[in-house]
């Protein structure tokens, strides 16, 4: 297949590109490199893999239209990755999430590309009253601007399926962690320890607990489900089926850092910031029933990531 990956130079996107190439696909990465890193794809360029990188913005509809003809499926991963940003800048998720998704769908419609896989998020559930939260939970009332843009993206995709006969895969990710991570709680903790090896400040009371998934498990699951499911709209939670608290993450990062005496200090309050969902647990029965067994549980994925990122970031340099 010829596959266009928006956000393919990013954290999840670059692992997805690895998996798509391993299976013999040719890939066009469409990325403005705002948070993506070209070196995440360098091994493909060095090996002469069928990977083409288009450095462009999804808000540039003309360039997107030029790159769509001949594409069999779009994996749409590009978005603003920073949920907290919405507390200060209120139009980022609207533009980088909702409008960008509209542009992808419109370019697909004009080029006759019929399949889209979308990186949505557990945050579409908002503060769910049912936990673990299954895919059919509703009503969906997200509490962050980022969550609103993900739900809007799902709505637009569903409309394009209903109106223009697209086929869609919607993946609601748990928190994704792993090698090449460029943001998120583990990344933040390691940077804080790099700045001050004696003290780790944790936002909130540490009791926030969420589902996690290791990035290759996430990318592998997306590709597996696209290859093996065939409804008009296929929608799956992707997670490892359990939760891990922020308190435990802080402990694991400190353990893995090898730093002798770190005092872990909590800022207090039940949530890290306005719009943060303090308790999120994804039901992943449908994902597992499809034949996927994640390599790591949440705690295992966090320890694996802490080790990898301590190495990548160079905590002791
Ligand atoms: P990331 O920031 O590493 O990847 C996003 C990529 O999109 C980057 O390469 C960035 O340069 C690119 N991009 C952003 N805006 C763009 C634009 N306007 N035009 C072209 N390229 C643009 O983030 P990630 O963690 O890899 O996230 C990938 C997707 O998964 C995102 O849609 C994110 O919302 C979703 N998601 C991630 C997590 C997580 O924990 N990482 C959880 C739930 C959902």
317 pLDDT above the threshold of 90: no
Task: Please indicate, yes or no, whether residues 149 and 16 belong to a single structural domain of this protein.
Answer: yes
Nearest to 71 by CA among 142, 166, 161: 166
Q: What H or E segment, with its residue span, contains residue 163?
A: helix 145-164
Structural domain harbouring 64: 2-176+213-238
**CATH number reported for the structural domain that contains residue 190 in this entry:** 3.90.25.10
Q: Are residues 82 and 183 in the same domain?
A: no
pLDDT recorded at residue 13: 98
61 pocket-lining for ligand 1 (C-beta < 6 Å): no
C-alpha torsion 126→249→206→181, nearest 10: -50
Give the residues across from 235 on adjacent strands.
Answer: 170
> Does residue 43 share a domain with residue 171?
yes
Q: Mean pLDDT, to the nearest integer, of 152-180?
A: 98
Distance 12 CA to ligand 1 centre (A): 7
Confidence of residue 222 (pLDDT cuts 50, 70, 90): very high
Please state, rounded to an integer, the average pLDDT across all residues of the chain: 96
Q: Are residues 80 and 9 in the same domain?
A: yes
Q: Against a cut of 0.85, is the pTM above it?
A: yes
What is the number of domains present in the chain?
2
251, 195: one domain: yes
Report, as an integer, the average pLDDT of 118-133: 97
Q: Tell me, what CATH number does 81's domain have? A: 3.40.50.720
Do 168 and 182 sit in the same domain of this protein? no
What's the confidence (pLDDT) of residue 28? 98
- Which residue would you say has higher pLDDT here, 315 or 53? 53
Helix (H) or strand (E) run with residue 234 in it? strand 233-238
Task: Decide: 154 in ligand 1 pocket, CB within 6 A.
Answer: no
Is 146 labeled as catalytic in the residue annotation?
yes
Same-domain check for residues 98 and 135: yes
% of the chain surpassing 90 pLDDT: 94
Position with higher pLDDT, 273 vs 52: 52
Q: CB of 12 within 8 A of CB of 119?
A: yes
pLDDT in tens, 234-273: 999 999 999 999 999 999 999 999 999 999 999 998 888 8
3-state secondary structure 57-113: CCCCHHHHHHHCCCCCEEEECCCCCCHHHHHCCCCHHHHHHHHHHHHHHHHHHHHCC
Say whether both 165 and 50 belong to one domain.
Answer: yes
Task: Give the span between the Cα atoms of 188 and 182, in whole angstroms.
Answer: 9
Do residue 154 and residue 201 come from a single domain?
Answer: no
């Amino acid at each position: 297949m010829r596959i266009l990956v928006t956000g393919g130079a990013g954290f999840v996107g670059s692992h997805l590109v690895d998996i798509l190439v391993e299976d013999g696909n040719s890939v066009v990465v469409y990325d403005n490199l705002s948070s993506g890193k070209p070196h995440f794809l360098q091994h493909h360029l060095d090996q002469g893999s069928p990977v083409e990188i288009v450095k462009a913005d999804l808000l540039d509809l003309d360039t997107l239209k030029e790159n769509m003809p001949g594409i069999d499926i779009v994996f749409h991963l590009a978005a603003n990755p920073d949920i907290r940003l919405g507390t200060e800048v209120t139009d980022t998720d609207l533009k980088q999430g909702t409008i960008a998704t509209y542009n992808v769908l419109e370019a697909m419609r004009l080029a006759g590309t019929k399949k889209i896989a979308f990186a949505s998020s557990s945050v579409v559930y908002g503060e769910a009253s049912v936990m673990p939260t299954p895919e059919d939970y509703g009503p969906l009332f997200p509490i962050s601007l980022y969550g609103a843009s993900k739900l809007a993206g799902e709505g637009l995709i569903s409309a394009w399926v209903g109106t223009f006969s697209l086929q869609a895969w919607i993946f609601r990710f748990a928190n994704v962690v792993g090698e090449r991570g460029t943001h998120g709680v583990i990344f933040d903790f390691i940077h804080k320890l790099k700045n001050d090896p004696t003290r780790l400040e944790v936002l909130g009371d540490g009791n926030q607990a969420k589902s996690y998934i290791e990035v290759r498990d996430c990318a592998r699951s997306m590709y597996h489900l696209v290859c093996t499911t065939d409804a008009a709209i296929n929608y799956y939670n992707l997670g490892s089926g359990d939760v891990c608290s922020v308190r435990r993450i802080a402990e694991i990062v400190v353990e893995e850092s090898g730093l002798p005496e770190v005092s872990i200090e909590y800022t207090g309050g039940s949530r890290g910031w306005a719009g943060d969902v303090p308790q999120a647990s994804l039901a992943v029965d449908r994902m597992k029933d499809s034949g996927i067994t994640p390599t790591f549980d949440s705690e295992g994925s966090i320890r694996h990531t802490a080790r990898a990122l301590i190495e990548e970031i160079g905590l002791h340099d």
